[in-house]
Structure 1
Amino acid sequence: MTIPTHRIPDWLRTGFYWFLALEFFVGFLTKFWPGATFFGPSYAEKFADWGFDPNMRYVVGVIELVCAILLIIPRRQTRFLGAGALVLLLTGAVTTHVIDDAPVYEEVSAPLHLMIMACVAIANWPAEVRELLRWGPAPTERAAIRRAATERASTNG
Protein backbone atom coordinates (compact mmCIF):
# COMPACT_ATOMS: atom_id res chain seq x y z
CA MET A 1 0.00 0.00 0.00
CA THR A 2 1.37 3.36 -0.97
CA ILE A 3 0.61 6.54 0.85
CA PRO A 4 -0.56 9.26 -1.52
CA THR A 5 1.63 12.33 -1.45
CA HIS A 6 0.44 15.73 -2.47
CA ARG A 7 3.09 17.89 -3.98
CA ILE A 8 2.85 21.62 -4.47
CA PRO A 9 3.57 22.51 -8.11
CA ASP A 10 7.01 24.04 -8.65
CA TRP A 11 5.59 27.16 -10.31
CA LEU A 12 3.39 27.86 -7.27
CA ARG A 13 6.25 27.35 -4.81
CA THR A 14 8.53 29.57 -6.92
CA GLY A 15 5.85 32.26 -7.13
CA PHE A 16 5.42 32.16 -3.35
CA TYR A 17 9.18 32.66 -2.79
CA TRP A 18 9.23 35.53 -5.31
CA PHE A 19 6.26 37.15 -3.54
CA LEU A 20 8.02 36.92 -0.17
CA ALA A 21 11.23 38.26 -1.70
CA LEU A 22 9.30 41.18 -3.20
CA GLU A 23 7.86 42.04 0.21
CA PHE A 24 11.30 42.14 1.79
CA PHE A 25 12.68 44.05 -1.19
CA VAL A 26 10.02 46.71 -0.56
CA GLY A 27 11.14 46.67 3.09
CA PHE A 28 14.71 47.26 1.88
CA LEU A 29 13.61 50.19 -0.28
CA THR A 30 11.61 51.84 2.50
CA LYS A 31 14.57 51.60 4.90
CA PHE A 32 16.71 53.55 2.41
CA TRP A 33 13.97 56.03 1.44
CA PRO A 34 14.90 59.43 2.92
CA GLY A 35 11.39 60.75 3.61
CA ALA A 36 8.02 59.46 4.70
CA THR A 37 6.87 56.18 3.21
CA PHE A 38 3.43 54.72 2.62
CA PHE A 39 4.02 52.97 5.98
CA GLY A 40 4.15 56.30 7.83
CA PRO A 41 7.07 58.52 8.81
CA SER A 42 10.59 57.86 7.59
CA TYR A 43 12.42 54.90 9.03
CA ALA A 44 15.11 57.26 10.33
CA GLU A 45 12.44 58.77 12.61
CA LYS A 46 11.00 55.38 13.49
CA PHE A 47 14.37 53.93 14.47
CA ALA A 48 15.13 57.01 16.58
CA ASP A 49 11.72 56.72 18.28
CA TRP A 50 12.44 53.05 19.05
CA GLY A 51 15.72 54.05 20.69
CA PHE A 52 18.06 52.85 17.93
CA ASP A 53 20.59 54.78 15.90
CA PRO A 54 18.73 56.05 12.78
CA ASN A 55 21.52 54.63 10.58
CA MET A 56 20.68 51.14 11.86
CA ARG A 57 17.89 51.17 9.26
CA TYR A 58 20.53 50.71 6.58
CA VAL A 59 21.84 47.56 8.26
CA VAL A 60 18.31 46.17 8.56
CA GLY A 61 17.57 47.12 4.94
CA VAL A 62 20.69 45.38 3.62
CA ILE A 63 19.85 42.25 5.62
CA GLU A 64 16.35 42.29 4.10
CA LEU A 65 17.81 42.68 0.59
CA VAL A 66 20.32 39.84 1.01
CA CYS A 67 17.65 37.56 2.48
CA ALA A 68 15.24 38.41 -0.35
CA ILE A 69 17.91 37.40 -2.86
CA LEU A 70 18.58 34.17 -0.95
CA LEU A 71 14.86 33.33 -1.02
CA ILE A 72 14.63 33.47 -4.82
CA ILE A 73 17.69 31.32 -5.49
CA PRO A 74 16.15 27.89 -6.19
CA ARG A 75 18.28 25.92 -3.73
CA ARG A 76 17.15 24.60 -0.38
CA GLN A 77 20.37 25.72 1.30
CA THR A 78 20.02 29.37 0.26
CA ARG A 79 16.32 29.49 1.04
CA PHE A 80 16.98 28.03 4.48
CA LEU A 81 19.74 30.56 5.16
CA GLY A 82 17.57 33.46 3.97
CA ALA A 83 14.54 32.37 5.97
CA GLY A 84 16.66 31.62 9.05
CA ALA A 85 18.26 35.06 8.96
CA LEU A 86 14.83 36.65 8.52
CA VAL A 87 13.53 34.70 11.53
CA LEU A 88 16.26 36.33 13.62
CA LEU A 89 15.61 39.78 12.15
CA LEU A 90 11.85 39.48 12.52
CA THR A 91 12.19 38.34 16.13
CA GLY A 92 13.80 41.70 16.80
CA ALA A 93 11.06 43.47 14.83
CA VAL A 94 8.29 41.71 16.76
CA THR A 95 9.95 42.54 20.06
CA THR A 96 10.39 46.18 19.03
CA HIS A 97 6.78 46.54 17.88
CA VAL A 98 5.37 44.89 21.00
CA ILE A 99 7.47 46.98 23.40
CA ASP A 100 6.80 50.17 21.42
CA ASP A 101 3.04 49.59 21.35
CA ALA A 102 3.03 50.01 17.58
CA PRO A 103 -0.03 50.44 15.36
CA VAL A 104 -2.12 47.32 14.83
CA TYR A 105 -0.88 46.70 11.28
CA GLU A 106 2.73 46.54 12.55
CA GLU A 107 1.81 44.38 15.53
CA VAL A 108 0.12 41.91 13.16
CA SER A 109 2.45 42.13 10.17
CA ALA A 110 5.74 41.43 11.96
CA PRO A 111 4.53 38.29 13.83
CA LEU A 112 2.75 37.03 10.71
CA HIS A 113 5.93 37.36 8.65
CA LEU A 114 7.89 35.75 11.48
CA MET A 115 5.60 32.70 11.40
CA ILE A 116 5.77 32.50 7.59
CA MET A 117 9.57 32.67 7.62
CA ALA A 118 9.75 30.04 10.37
CA CYS A 119 7.61 27.75 8.18
CA VAL A 120 9.84 28.46 5.15
CA ALA A 121 12.95 27.71 7.22
CA ILE A 122 11.43 24.45 8.47
CA ALA A 123 10.33 23.45 4.95
CA ASN A 124 13.90 23.96 3.69
CA TRP A 125 15.60 22.50 6.77
CA PRO A 126 18.74 20.64 5.71
CA ALA A 127 19.02 16.94 6.46
CA GLU A 128 22.41 17.65 7.97
CA VAL A 129 24.41 20.80 8.67
CA ARG A 130 27.06 19.86 6.12
CA GLU A 131 24.46 20.41 3.38
CA LEU A 132 24.63 24.14 4.09
CA LEU A 133 28.31 24.14 3.15
CA ARG A 134 27.96 21.92 0.06
CA TRP A 135 27.12 23.78 -3.12
CA GLY A 136 26.63 20.77 -5.38
CA PRO A 137 23.63 18.47 -5.30
CA ALA A 138 22.92 16.67 -2.03
CA PRO A 139 23.89 12.98 -1.87
CA THR A 140 20.27 11.91 -2.32
CA GLU A 141 19.97 14.18 -5.36
CA ARG A 142 23.22 12.79 -6.80
CA ALA A 143 21.94 9.24 -6.34
CA ALA A 144 18.69 10.16 -8.10
CA ILE A 145 20.63 11.76 -10.97
CA ARG A 146 22.82 8.64 -11.33
CA ARG A 147 19.77 6.37 -11.21
CA ALA A 148 18.00 8.42 -13.91
CA ALA A 149 21.13 8.35 -16.11
CA THR A 150 21.43 4.59 -15.68
CA GLU A 151 17.76 4.09 -16.59
CA ARG A 152 18.15 6.27 -19.69
CA ALA A 153 21.24 4.35 -20.73
CA SER A 154 19.49 0.99 -20.28
CA THR A 155 16.42 2.07 -22.30
CA ASN A 156 18.54 3.60 -25.08
CA GLY A 157 21.01 0.71 -25.24
Structure 2
Amino acid sequence: MRKRLLTGFYWLLAVEFIIGAVTKYWPGPTFFGPAYSVKFVEWGYPSWFRFVIGAVEFICAILLVIPRREYRFLGAAILIVVLTGATLTHLINQNPWWESTSAPTHLAIMLVIAWTSRPPDLLAWAKSLTKPIQTPSR
Protein backbone atom coordinates (compact mmCIF):
# COMPACT_ATOMS: atom_id res chain seq x y z
CA MET A 1 0.00 0.00 0.00
CA ARG A 2 2.80 2.43 0.94
CA LYS A 3 4.63 1.76 -2.30
CA ARG A 4 1.50 2.52 -4.34
CA LEU A 5 0.95 5.79 -2.50
CA LEU A 6 4.56 6.84 -3.12
CA THR A 7 4.29 5.89 -6.78
CA GLY A 8 1.11 7.95 -7.08
CA PHE A 9 2.83 10.87 -5.35
CA TYR A 10 5.79 10.68 -7.77
CA TRP A 11 3.38 10.65 -10.71
CA LEU A 12 1.51 13.65 -9.30
CA LEU A 13 4.78 15.57 -8.99
CA ALA A 14 5.79 14.53 -12.50
CA VAL A 15 2.49 15.80 -13.92
CA GLU A 16 2.98 19.10 -12.08
CA PHE A 17 6.47 19.55 -13.53
CA ILE A 18 5.34 18.54 -17.02
CA ILE A 19 2.56 21.14 -16.86
CA GLY A 20 5.15 23.68 -15.68
CA ALA A 21 7.46 22.72 -18.55
CA VAL A 22 4.69 23.01 -21.15
CA THR A 23 3.66 26.45 -19.87
CA LYS A 24 7.22 27.66 -20.30
CA TYR A 25 7.00 26.78 -24.00
CA TRP A 26 3.53 28.33 -24.33
CA PRO A 27 3.77 31.55 -26.37
CA GLY A 28 0.98 33.52 -24.69
CA PRO A 29 -0.48 34.03 -21.23
CA THR A 30 -0.96 30.93 -19.10
CA PHE A 31 -3.39 30.13 -16.33
CA PHE A 32 -0.52 31.15 -14.02
CA GLY A 33 -0.52 34.72 -15.37
CA PRO A 34 1.44 36.45 -18.14
CA ALA A 35 3.57 34.51 -20.63
CA TYR A 36 6.81 33.11 -19.28
CA SER A 37 8.66 34.95 -22.04
CA VAL A 38 7.58 38.14 -20.28
CA LYS A 39 8.12 36.81 -16.75
CA PHE A 40 11.68 35.64 -17.40
CA VAL A 41 12.63 39.06 -18.80
CA GLU A 42 11.02 40.78 -15.80
CA TRP A 43 13.05 38.50 -13.51
CA GLY A 44 16.26 39.51 -15.28
CA TYR A 45 16.81 36.42 -17.45
CA PRO A 46 16.84 36.22 -21.25
CA SER A 47 13.53 35.13 -22.73
CA TRP A 48 15.05 31.98 -24.27
CA PHE A 49 16.12 30.71 -20.84
CA ARG A 50 12.54 29.54 -20.22
CA PHE A 51 13.09 26.83 -22.85
CA VAL A 52 16.14 25.53 -20.97
CA ILE A 53 14.26 25.46 -17.67
CA GLY A 54 11.23 23.86 -19.31
CA ALA A 55 13.35 21.11 -20.87
CA VAL A 56 15.11 20.42 -17.58
CA GLU A 57 11.78 20.25 -15.74
CA PHE A 58 10.37 17.85 -18.34
CA ILE A 59 13.39 15.53 -18.21
CA CYS A 60 13.41 15.54 -14.41
CA ALA A 61 9.68 14.77 -14.33
CA ILE A 62 10.37 11.66 -16.40
CA LEU A 63 13.26 10.71 -14.10
CA LEU A 64 10.98 10.96 -11.06
CA VAL A 65 8.64 8.23 -12.31
CA ILE A 66 11.26 5.72 -13.46
CA PRO A 67 11.12 2.97 -10.82
CA ARG A 68 14.87 2.91 -10.09
CA ARG A 69 15.88 5.05 -7.13
CA GLU A 70 19.06 6.29 -8.84
CA TYR A 71 16.99 7.96 -11.56
CA ARG A 72 14.58 9.41 -9.01
CA PHE A 73 17.55 10.75 -7.03
CA LEU A 74 19.07 12.30 -10.14
CA GLY A 75 15.79 13.96 -11.13
CA ALA A 76 15.23 15.30 -7.62
CA ALA A 77 18.84 16.52 -7.31
CA ILE A 78 18.66 18.46 -10.57
CA LEU A 79 15.28 19.91 -9.59
CA ILE A 80 16.81 21.06 -6.29
CA VAL A 81 19.18 23.26 -8.29
CA VAL A 82 16.38 24.61 -10.50
CA LEU A 83 14.01 25.20 -7.58
CA THR A 84 16.70 26.91 -5.53
CA GLY A 85 17.14 29.33 -8.43
CA ALA A 86 13.38 29.80 -8.70
CA THR A 87 13.02 30.44 -4.97
CA LEU A 88 15.85 32.97 -4.97
CA THR A 89 14.41 34.65 -8.06
CA HIS A 90 11.04 35.10 -6.37
CA LEU A 91 12.69 36.43 -3.20
CA ILE A 92 14.96 38.86 -5.03
CA ASN A 93 12.13 40.16 -7.21
CA GLN A 94 9.77 40.36 -4.21
CA ASN A 95 6.94 38.58 -5.99
CA PRO A 96 3.60 38.29 -4.15
CA TRP A 97 3.29 35.30 -1.82
CA TRP A 98 0.78 33.50 -4.08
CA GLU A 99 3.38 33.44 -6.85
CA SER A 100 6.25 32.57 -4.53
CA THR A 101 5.02 29.59 -2.51
CA SER A 102 5.22 26.84 -5.12
CA ALA A 103 9.00 26.91 -5.64
CA PRO A 104 10.03 26.61 -1.96
CA THR A 105 7.33 24.02 -1.30
CA HIS A 106 8.52 21.86 -4.19
CA LEU A 107 12.12 22.49 -3.15
CA ALA A 108 11.40 21.01 0.29
CA ILE A 109 9.66 18.02 -1.32
CA MET A 110 12.59 17.43 -3.69
CA LEU A 111 15.05 17.60 -0.78
CA VAL A 112 13.12 14.83 0.98
CA ILE A 113 12.87 12.74 -2.21
CA ALA A 114 16.58 13.17 -2.98
CA TRP A 115 17.53 12.19 0.57
CA THR A 116 15.28 9.12 0.67
CA SER A 117 16.20 8.03 -2.88
CA ARG A 118 19.95 8.53 -2.63
CA PRO A 119 22.03 5.54 -3.66
CA PRO A 120 23.41 3.57 -0.69
CA ASP A 121 26.98 4.49 -1.58
CA LEU A 122 26.56 7.92 -3.11
CA LEU A 123 30.28 8.56 -3.72
CA ALA A 124 30.83 5.24 -5.49
CA TRP A 125 27.74 5.87 -7.61
CA ALA A 126 28.95 9.36 -8.57
CA LYS A 127 32.39 7.99 -9.47
CA SER A 128 30.79 5.32 -11.65
CA LEU A 129 29.08 8.09 -13.63
CA THR A 130 32.42 9.72 -14.44
CA LYS A 131 34.31 6.59 -15.53
CA PRO A 132 35.28 6.65 -19.18
CA ILE A 133 33.49 4.15 -21.35
CA GLN A 134 35.81 1.32 -22.26
CA THR A 135 35.62 0.15 -25.83
CA PRO A 136 36.74 -3.39 -26.64
CA SER A 137 40.11 -3.52 -28.32
CA ARG A 138 40.49 -5.35 -31.60
Unpaired segments of 5 or more residues in structure 2?
130-138
Counterpart code for 1:46: K
Q: Name the aligned partner's letter for residue 36 of structure 2.
A: Y
> Hey, what does 2:48 align to over in structure 1?
55
Unaligned runs of 5+ in 1: 1-7, 135-157
Matches within 5 A, 1:77-116: 77-116=70-109
1:131 is displaced (CA, Å) by 3.6
- Residue range with higher mean Cα deviation, 101-110 or 56-65: 101-110
Corresponding position of 2:112: 119
The amino acid across from 2:118 in the alignment is W
Q: Distance in 1 between matches of 2:99 and 2:86?
A: 9
RMSD over aligned CA atoms reads 1.3
Which string of whole-angstrom CA distances, capped at 9 and with x for unpartnered residues, describes residues 86-110 of structure 1? 0000000000000011121222111
Distance 2:70 2:90 in 1: 30
| Residue number in structure 1 paired with 2:136 | none
Task: Give the C-alpha shift of residue 41 in structure 1.
Answer: 0.2
* CA drift at 1:10: 1.4
Secondary structure of residue in 2 paired with 1:127: coil
- Higher gyration radius (CA): 1
**Secondary structure of 1:66's match?**
helix
Show the 5 A alignment for 1:19-58. 19-58=12-51
Q: Hey, which bits of structure 1, 4+ residues long, moved more than 2 A? A: 129-134
- TM-score normalised by length of structure 2: 0.88
Q: Deviations over 1:94-143 (max 9, x none)?
A: 00000011121222111111000000000101111334648xxxxxxxxx
Letter of the 2:41 counterpart: A
Q: Which moved more, 1:112-121 or 1:100-109?
A: 100-109
Seq. identity, %:
50
